[in-house]
Amino acid sequence: MKNYYRKYVFYYVLCVIASGCTGPVEETEAPKNVILFIGDGMGPTTVTAARIFDGQSRGKSGEENVLSFEEFPHVALVKTYNTNQQVPDSAGTATAIHSGVKTRAGVIAVSPSVKRGSCAESLTNSLPTVAEIAKAKGIGVGIVTTTRLTHATPATLYAHSAERNWENDSFLSASARQGGCRDIAHQLIEFKIGDGLDVAMGGGRREFVGSDLGGLRQDSSDNLIQKWINQDDNHQFVQDRSELFDIDVSKQVLGLFAKSHMTYIAERTPDSVEPTLTEMTVKALQVLQNRENGYYLLVEGGRIDHGHHDGKPGYAMLETQEFARAIQAAVDIVDLDNTLVMVTADHSHVMTIAGYPTRGNPILGHIVSNDSQGEPRDEPSLDIDGNPYPTLAYINGPAAAKSEEEWQFRPGLLEIYPSLVAIPYQEPDGSTTYDETHGGEDVALYAVGYGSELVGGVIEQNKIYNFIAEVLFNDGNL
């Protein structure tokens, strides 16, 4: 891409040699675009399982199936650790991707010197993000997610915070409030670099309004959505699928389609008014393709992660399947000669694919293995307790053990692997359960389109930023 400058000098010299020339020949490089798809928690095991699930949902055996992004020509492996954690969280990993600097778990676009929760340290140590640099250059920026728009991964584009949980002002600590730190929803609405975010779509309405409108903001009459709309005639707000279909794609759009996270695919009813990830992605691209200096679009399949945390592999499979659909829809729309499309995960999960199911065995079912002649048995395989066991299983969380007592029935496990047991959290009814955790192995990065040949090898996660910067800003330090 630095060839542009060489070409420019070449044409300039040619021009000077030619008689009657008064200046360099004008040559402007066509604008470039980058779309980054982050499957939150979509580790390699999830991709394999989702590939089989997707194939089986079409009546095939499944193992031979190919998800849309698995056809991309360039692949790398990505090391996901945070600066202070071997197994990362989404705030630290998405900061690495969007600022080029690895940082601590739990913080949003601030440097690793900032202790989690330290408002004072965060105010003087924020990291410039892809969105800020892009908007300062007149490049369009869009965010699409199935989580709350204020959740960790999307927040790393437009906010800086010492604590990912400061999604609205009632969640700010007293010292953060006194220290002048602002909540993440406020920072989204106040993001005013250039003309601000072009597209922001997802869930999380409750973070933007007070209790008068069913939200969580400290002041019951607060309404940040109205503040967004009131900026000028160019700002529009939508909150269901039919409104989304009717937007003016020449204007900026805020879409908040659910009070908290958007509904799991597995729990949507036929009359759901929430758009799918694919529908949001297509609409976002229609808006961004009007931006004459190119664009950056983040699309997060955010609830893959939540399905795993809940110990529900089927939920995670459905979310991954929809994520793959959204990627295919984007690739069908864009011009790959000027657009880099990358697909990755921020981190993995502790799900495994156990042996030895026979070929085509339902990926969400119990294991039925082959007999000594390699033919499928009639009965499921049994574990040491005489019970059938599933192919997809978790080492911790609700699908592994529902209570500490239950762990006691597995002699030695707590003593040998105490760190494998998730931190218990309190349910609203006071009961204690376990949240399944992230996994620490490398995740994959798939790339196609302009500049995708840069992607390869085993890389640190913050290098993804360099790929984005090289294509969008001609400044990737590669």
Active site residues: 90
Restricting to residues 167-206, name those near Zn ion by CB under 5 A: none
Q: Which residue has the tokens 């730190």?
A: 181
Q: Which is nearer to Zn ion, 104 or 291 (CB)?
A: 104
Nearer residue to Zn ion within complex by CB, 182 or 349: 349
Nearest to 200 by CA among 247, 165, 242, 164: 247
461: nearest Cα among 69, 38, 101, 47: 101
Q: What tokens appear for 456 in the block?
A: 């390869």
Strands 443-449 and 74-79: antiparallel
Residue 457: partners with Cβ closer than 8 Å, 6 or more residues away: 76, 77
Q: 84 or 358, CB closer to Zn ion?
A: 84
In angstroms, give the least distance from the CB of 201 to Zn ion.
21
User: Residue 356: is the preceding peptide bond cis (ω within 30°)?
Assistant: yes
Residue whose CB is less far from Zn ion, 207 or 305: 305
Q: Between residues 118 and 437, which has the closer beta carbon with respect to Zn ion?
A: 437
Nearest-approach distance from CB 162 to Zn ion, in angstroms: 19
CB nearer to Zn ion: give 102 or 291. Answer: 102
Q: Residue 429 CB, nearest distance to Zn ion (Å)?
A: 23
What would the x/- binding string for Zn ion be over residues 394 to 433, using CB under 5 A?
A: ----------------------------------------
Residue nearest to Zn ion (CB): 305
If binding means CB under 5 A, how many residues of this protein chain bind Zn ion? 1
Closest approach, Cβ 41 to Zn ion, in A, equals 6
Give the amino acid at 72: F
**Hey, what amino acid is at 240?**
D
- CB burial class (10 A; 0-12, 13-18, 19+) of residue 256? buried
Residue nearer to Zn ion on the CB measure, 305 or 319: 305
β partners of residue 142: 199, 297
Q: Give min distance, CB of 34 to Zn ion, in A.
A: 24
Beta bridge partners of 126: 110
CA distances for 352 relative to 64, 368, 435, angstroms: 19, 16, 16
Shortest Cβ distance from residue 305 to Zn ion (Å)? 4
Residue nearer to Zn ion on the CB measure, 169 or 305: 305
- Least separation, in Å, of the C-beta of 205 and Zn ion? 21
The pattern of x and - marking residues 286 through 325 that bind Zn ion according to CB under 5 A reads -------------------x--------------------
Are 428 and 46 contacting, i.e. CB atoms less than 8 angstroms apart?
Answer: no
* Residue 141 Cβ vs Zn ion, minimum distance, rounded to whole Å: 24
- Contact residues: Zn ion, CB under 5 A: 305
